[in-house]
Amino acid sequence: MTNDGPSPDELIRAALQRTAACPPVESLELYLHKADPRIAAHLQSCAYCATELQLLESFHSAEISAEDAAAVNAITQRLKRSASQERRPPQEQPKSWWRFGGSWLRPAMLASAAILVVAAIGLQLRRGGPPELRHIASQTNDVFRAQTVTILSPHGDLQTPPEDVRWEPEPSAVTYQVRLLEVDGHELWTAKGANTNMPFPPAIRALMVPAKTLSLSVEAFNAQGQKVATSGIVSFRILQKIYPR
Amino acid sequence: MEDFTDEDLLLRYRSSPNSDAAEPLLNQLFQHHHSRVAAWCYRITGDVDSASDLAQEIFLKAFQRLDSFRGESRFTTWLYTIARNHCMDWLRSRPSTPQQFEEMPDQLADFRSEAISSVLERRESEQLVRKLMRESLDDTEAKVMTLHYVHELPLDSVTRILRLTNPSGAKAHVVNARRKLAKAVALWKNRPAPARGGTDDE
């Protein structure tokens, strides 16, 4: 008996690898639209192609789960900001990022930037004094930019208890925290999520009795867990029903 | 601007790639795919900053390789291959701690030492493991194993990419699959000798 053979993990990997019998991705794309018995038979016996087909189908469908929506929105906003540069007037229009990346000028620009950095460091050293310290507040993990989350609903006077709280997305946020407060600041309920709405649990809706003013706040956090925006306090109340005599 | 199909946009772009109209055409083409590439990258990385960087790199790569698109598939499929390869390369390039699973079940370890090294040729053994996996694993387990072992994706990425909703995600499927495979190997070992293909020297 010997142990010179492949390890179990290597065996598993080799057994699941793509083989010469696997169809190209173009054939799998066709299979998405029209069933082909030969491809179907191959998929029954090939985990590699079955996986590839699922990934391809998922990419084509572009379906975005509710929990990914806020993050995907933030990423597409960044992509749009890059692309929107090309809509500026020609005299101030920089090349789009995808053209800039291939420019022959890039090495020269990098070299110029390096010279400027060296010159700046040299000047700083000649001044001799200690560098200015940043204010301590700038090192905290709190809000970096004066951004606000706009609560769309509920606010003001309402006829019935709201089903949920809704707000506008903050591009750099991946999670949000909602807080429901009484007027004295006592927290009734809080919840976190990635969507731009949050349903109120039935037990909390039951607390929204007529004429009682309640307050809401929404805070947005980025992928590092830093707070990037806040809504401030928004109030609402349920109107009392007036029954005719 | 009128909303053309991807193929129309490419055709128009290629007819005059250096004209003033070319850049907006390409921007429109890529904007068609912003959200699908963003969603893909986010599922791979799990964080917005890395996914944004990856998405921009994917569109840059697509632009640089645009001449290689020959219309043998839809533009979306062509972009998918770029996105998939780029993201998987990125995952492999990151320093990561190998996932530790429980000790390999005895049957699979035995399978390695006896059945593979001294009884069957490697190619035959791969075919046998493939067969045993096909017979013993369910679809999800097979896909999780493929993404983790072949594409070397971390388990959290596998969980997101396959949208697994069970509490421990892909890890549970890998553990189950390995146990099932070990059991299948044990059954195979206990079969009567003639059924083992006549290559066994026992």
pLDDT digits (tens, 9 = 90+) for A194-222: 888 899 988 888 888 877 778 888 999 88
Is there a single domain that holds both residue B155 and residue B133?
yes
Is there a single domain that holds both residue B118 and residue B62?
no
Is there a single domain that holds both residue B88 and residue B58?
yes
In chain A, residues with a C-beta closer than 8 Å to the C-beta of B108 are 8
Is there a single domain that holds both residue B190 and residue B115?
yes
How confident is the model at residue A132, as a pLDDT?
A: 43
Indicate the residue of A1, A48, A101 with minimum beta-carbon distance to B146. A48
The model's confidence at residue A99, banded by pLDDT at 50, 70 and 90, is: low
Beta strands A234-238 and A156-158 are parallel
Query: Full-prediction pTM beyond 0.80?
Result: no
The model's confidence at residue A123, banded by pLDDT at 50, 70 and 90, is: low
Residue B111 to residues B117, B176, B186: CA-CA distances in angstroms?
Answer: 9, 18, 8
Instruction: Note whether residue B100 is domain-resident.
Output: no
Q: List all residues 6 or more positions away from A32 whose beta carbon is below 8 Å from its beta carbon.
A: A53, A56, A57, A60
Is there a single domain that holds both residue B113 and residue B187?
yes
Residue B6 to residues A138, A144, A169, B11, B56: CA-CA distances in angstroms?
Answer: 46, 39, 29, 9, 19
Residue A87 has pLDDT above 50, yes or no: no
Is there a single domain that holds both residue B147 and residue B114?
yes
Give the gap in angstroms from C-alpha A79 to the nearest C-alpha of chain B.
Answer: 7
How confident is the model at residue A146, as a pLDDT?
A: 41
The domain total for chain B is 2
How confident is the model at residue A187, as a pLDDT?
A: 78
How confident is the model at residue A109, as a pLDDT?
A: 62
Residue A62 has pLDDT above 50, yes or no: yes
Is there a single domain that holds both residue B80 and residue B112?
no
Query: Of the ranges A184-188, A230-234, A235-239, B34-38, which one carries the lowest mean pLDDT score?
Result: A184-188
Mutate to test the interface with A, among B150, B153, B174 (most CBs of A within 10 A): B150
Of B93, B114, B139, the position where a domain reaches its end is B93
Q: For chain A, which residues make up each domain, given as ranges?
A: 8-61, 151-238
Nearest to residue B171, comparing CAs of B79, B97, B100?
A: B100
| Higher pLDDT pick, A187 / B49 | B49
Torsions phi, psi of A219, nearest 5? -115, 140
Of B93, B120, B155, the position where a domain reaches its end is B93
CATH number at residue B132: 1.10.10
How confident is the model at residue B104, as a pLDDT?
A: 52
Residue A148 has pLDDT above 90, yes or no: no
Judged by CB atoms within 8 Å, which residues 211-230 of A form the interface with B? 222-223
* Contacts A–B by Cβ distance under 8 A: 180
- Domain extent for B143: 106-196
- CA of B43: which chain A residue's CA is closest? A68
Instruction: Note whether residue B76 is domain-resident.
Output: yes
Q: Whole-angstrom Cα distance, residue A107 to residue A97?
A: 15
CATH 3.20.10.10 at A151-238, yes or no:
no
Is there a single domain that holds both residue B118 and residue B89?
no
In chain B, residues with a C-beta closer than 8 Å to the C-beta of A74 are 48, 52
Is there a single domain that holds both residue B10 and residue B39?
yes
Of B37, B68, B93, the position where a domain reaches its end is B93
CATH number at residue B29: 1.10.1740.10
How confident is the model at residue A195, as a pLDDT?
A: 87
Is there a single domain that holds both residue B81 and residue B43?
yes
The model's confidence at residue A28, banded by pLDDT at 50, 70 and 90, is: very high
In chain A, residues with a C-beta closer than 8 Å to the C-beta of B52 are 74-75, 78-79
Number of residues written out for chain A: 245
Instruction: Note whether residue B201 is domain-resident.
Output: no
Is A2 in contact with B43 (Cβ distance < 8 A)? no
Residue A85 has pLDDT above 70, yes or no: no
Burial of residue B80 (number of CB atoms within 10 Å: 0-12, 13-18, 19+): buried
How confident is the model at residue B23, as a pLDDT?
A: 84
Is there a single domain that holds both residue B119 and residue B190?
yes
The ipTM is 0.84
Q: Output the tens digit of pLDDT for each of chain B's 202 residues.
A: 566 888 888 888 888 888 888 888 888 899 899 999 999 999 999 899 999 999 999 999 999 998 888 888 899 999 999 999 999 888 877 766 556 555 455 555 555 555 544 445 667 777 888 888 999 999 999 999 999 989 888 899 999 999 899 989 999 999 999 999 888 888 888 877 655 544 443 3
Q: Tell me if B59 sits within 8 A of A13, measured CB to CB.
A: no
Nearest to residue A16, comparing CAs of B161, B108, B185, B145?
A: B145
